[in-house]
Structure 1
Amino acid sequence: MSELSEAERRDWLRLARTENVGPVTFDQLIQRFGTAGKALAALPELAQRGGRRIAIASEATVDKELARGAALGARLIAACEAAFPQALAALDPPPPILWARGRVEILDRPSVAIVGARVASAAGQRFARGLAAELGQSGQVIVSGLARGIDAAAHEGALTTGTVAVLGGGVDDVYPPEHRKLYDRIAEEGCVVSESEPGRTAVARDFPRRNRIISGLSRAVVVVEAELRSGSLITARLAGEQGREVLAVPGSPLDPRAKGTNDLIRQGAALCEGAEDVLRALEGLRGFREPDRGVYTGLPANDPGDALREAVAALLSPTPVSRDEIVRATGAAPPAVFAALVELSLAGRCDLLPGGMVTSG
């Protein structure tokens, strides 16, 4: 991993901001072409093969984003650069870029996420605040999402020891507005990060991506309070998929905010009654090291052909299926099938999902 030149970073951002280029498609394109510049040059032909034209992010668009980030004092870090958090770089695939405002160096310190209900009980907030403070004193950075309730309490407990706020909107999107003072302290003493461009206001579809970063930055995720349908449970699920430890705080069966956490314990999450439980879980990870992402070298960029591309498209449905299953069903070489999927994705005919899954577009 090495630093990109300014021109290479602009290409990297243009590719990340191009229509239909999500993290999986981005990763496949970089693996295939080696550089963002070469991938950008190939995009029109690839999308046309898939069945439509594509709107590539303009240089003016990325220049505006870079200027807005610079005005905030934020830093853009590409997934291939040494400053990119190692825990995120090891994800399959990593977010292509990350905007960071504050002390970027704490992103590589050992971290624990604390998440939970927005409409949290006073007892739940007190527990989250105290847990964050104790874990912070033990050397852990606390990661959360700046939301009301448990998130805010966790950040407050870790302000003096180190905390990271992951936002769904841009790094300047303070929500809820009453957290402005908390945000300012985190930006000064901790770090605020986001995949989204500065100036963007978060919408519903941004929060699953945010949750993936919260869990990805952390070695363990603690859920304090959560109803059965809760974004915190999504974060816990993502943490499990990423190989992170998942812990839950038990609660009264009479409180709807305990149903989600109690269900997590029922499904195998570790029980958390205090910092010692989290530290004990982390002790089992002693010596664990995130795998290296390696170097992007570029793979052959052959045209998979219309016949294979349409055969792959015919196998897709709204039900997620692994790319390996598509390979088996077609009997074609994996690189050719992956190339066909990228072209279909660029044309909006399929969605490439983390974990090697794919659905129809």
Structure 2
Amino acid sequence: MDTGSARRTGVALTEKQRIAWLRLIRSDNVGPSTFRDLIHHYGSAEAALAMLPELSQRGGSTRVVRIADERDALRELETAHRFGARFVGIGEPDYPPALREIDGAPPLLAVKGNMPTATRPAIGMVGSRNASISGVKFTAMIARVCGEAGYAVVSGLARGIDTAAHRASLATGTIAAMAGGLDKPYPPENIGLLNEIWDGSGLAVSEMPFGWEPRARDFPRRNRLIAGISLGVVVVEAATRSGSLITARLAGEFGRLVFAVPGSPLDPRCEGTNGLLKDGAMIVTRPDDIVEALRPLAEPDLFRPRPAEAPVERSKPLSTPPDDAERDHIVEALGPTPVEIDDIVRHTGLPISAVHSILLELDMAGRLHRHPGGLVSISMLD
């Protein structure tokens, strides 16, 4: 399998663009999907930043939107530099190629470690923190075989299965997806493992700011990184309510392969994995099951970015803002039930550019909710 430079595609950001991108993604109400829409609509992060206050006001917000200061962005870049890390943009050559394909991919990733690992085909491995001896041993076996076959092994640095997967692939290349900032690893007992990862052939990635302590709601975002970077996800020992099943669900939504290792019906740690098998996950009884299934997906050209995928900055004149009648029409059409943007266009008969502009206004006012699959809903004002 070719794991060389053929997978590195994209255009590097200038330092000025990188600062503006960082400011934009760190501003209030700007998530990954909103970031992409803003750049597509206004042509650059700098132009989008200038429009945020007006968008928020037109969307019905009564308070001033917080825009990340340039000095704060420069401080974060300097913190990353001192830490031995850097920020990679979604359209740049070192951005994980499979990740840029998913809905709501992070515009910027903080990364530290061996950068060539980021662009290799990858397999995710997740499972129980309270893993059994046999679960840990089988995880290590899978990770070693997949690593020797040329795959980077992606996991979440947690105890149990994650730790086993990382340790078994230290020599061949592993990626730790983190829920907090790169300088705030969790759990603390895996700090030594993290140092081994980025001092060797591995890499750590995070979309969160430096200094960010991970909270419970940050771990599903971390799981999204694992599923997005990987061509497939292997689940070893997962209870019926676990983050591992969230990762498996996301992998399925992203069109990735989902693998599950069967376990004893008497072991609660295997209820989730056995359930995945009932739902159609691919059964794994030997590591080669995974390697053989992934082989057709590991072609070096599979995840070359198409022209419209990354939010490429370009010169674009600002469009005329929608009028109040158009804005009211969109607000009346929306409700708490998620709908497709194409359905909004068909229902209202408005130009798609006007629909996107109004949705950005509502987004910046904190009224719009974005859902998987590009669906949107609205919070009604009192």
Fold equivalence (TM over 0.5): yes
Map of 2:18 onto structure 1: 9
Further displaced range: 301-310 or 241-250: 301-310
Q: Cα offset for 1:268?
A: 1.2
Alignment match, 1:310: 328
User: Structure 1 CA distance, aligned partners of 2:233 and 2:368?
Assistant: 31
- Equivalent AA in structure 2 for residue 121 of structure 1: S
Query: Any idea what SS the aligned residue of 1:321 has?
Result: coil
Q: Using a 3 Å threshold, how does the CA distance of structure 1 residues 80 and 352 change in structure 2: closer, same or farther?
A: same
**How far is the alpha carbon of 1:48 from its aligned partner?**
1.0
Structure 1, 12-21 or 76-85: larger mean CA deviation:
76-85
1:138 to 141, 145, 149: 149
1:354 positional shift? 4.1
Distance 1:125 1:339 in 2: 50
Once the 2 structures are TM-superposed, how far is the Cα of residue 39 of structure 1 from its aligned partner? 0.7
Alignment correspondent of 2:247? 235
The residue identity in structure 2 corresponding to 1:44 is P
Q: Among 328, 340, 344, which residue is 1:322 paired with?
A: 340
Query: Does 2:102 correspond to 1:91?
Result: yes
- Give the Å deviation of 1:299: 8.0
Tell me, what secondary structure is at the counterpart of 2:297?
coil
Pick one of 106, 116, 120 that aligns with 2:127: 116
Q: Who is 2:4 aligned against? A: none
Deviation of 1:286 after TM superposition, in Å, equals: 5.1
Aligned to 2:305: 292
The residue matched to 1:86 in structure 2 has which SS? coil
Corresponding pairs, count: 361
Deviations 1:85-112 (A, max 9, x none): 2212222332110000101111111110
Q: Distance in 1 between matches of 2:359 and 2:135?
A: 45
State the percentage of identical aligned residues: 48
The residue aligned with 1:55 is 66
**Equivalent of residue 40 in structure 2, options 14, 26, 31:** 31
Tell me the C-alpha RMSD between the 2 structures.
Answer: 1.7
Out of 210, 214, 218, which is 1:202 matched to? Answer: 214
Q: 2:282 aligns with which of 261, 266, 270?
A: 270
What displacement does 1:60 show? 2.2
Aligned CA distance change for structure 1 residues 336 and 117 (closer, same or farther; 3 Å): same
Deviation at 1:314, TM superposition (A): 3.3
**Aligned counterparts, 1:69-218, within 5 A:** 69-189=80-200, 190-218=202-230
Q: Secondary structure at the match of 2:98?
A: helix
Tell me how far 1:45 sits from its aligned partner: 1.0
- From 338, 353, 356, the equivalent of 2:371 is 353
With over 3 angstroms needed to count, the CA separation of the structure-2 counterparts of 1:308 and 1:265, relative to structure 1, is farther
Gaps of 5+ in 1: none
Aligned mates of 1:302, 1:120 — CA distance in 2: 58
Report the alpha carbon displacement of residue 20 of structure 1 after superposing the two structures with TM.
Answer: 0.2
8 Å Cα contact 1:24/1:353 also seen in 2: no
The amino acid of 1:212's aligned partner reads R
Which residue matches 1:41? Answer: 50
Distance (whole Å) between structure 2 residues aligned to residue 148 and residue 317 of structure 1: 42
Q: Which runs of 5+ in 2 are unaligned?
A: 1-9
Give the stretch that moved more between structures: 57-66 or 305-314. Answer: 305-314
Change (3 A) 1:293 1:34: farther
Query: What is the SS of the residue equivalent to 2:216?
Result: coil
1:296 Cα deviation from its structure 2 partner: 4.4
**TM-score (normalizing by structure 2):** 0.90
Aligned amino acid, residue 306 of structure 1: D
Judge conservation of contact 1:87–1:216 (CA < 8 Å) in 2: yes
CA distance in 2, matches of 1:326, 1:73: 46
SS in 2 for 1:142: strand
User: Does residue 246 of structure 1 match 2:262?
Assistant: no
Which of 333, 351, 357 is matched with 1:333 structurally? 351
- 1:307 deviation in Å? 2.6
Q: Is the 8 A contact 1:112 1:221 kept in 2?
A: yes
Q: Distance in 2 between matches of 1:320 and 1:228?
A: 27
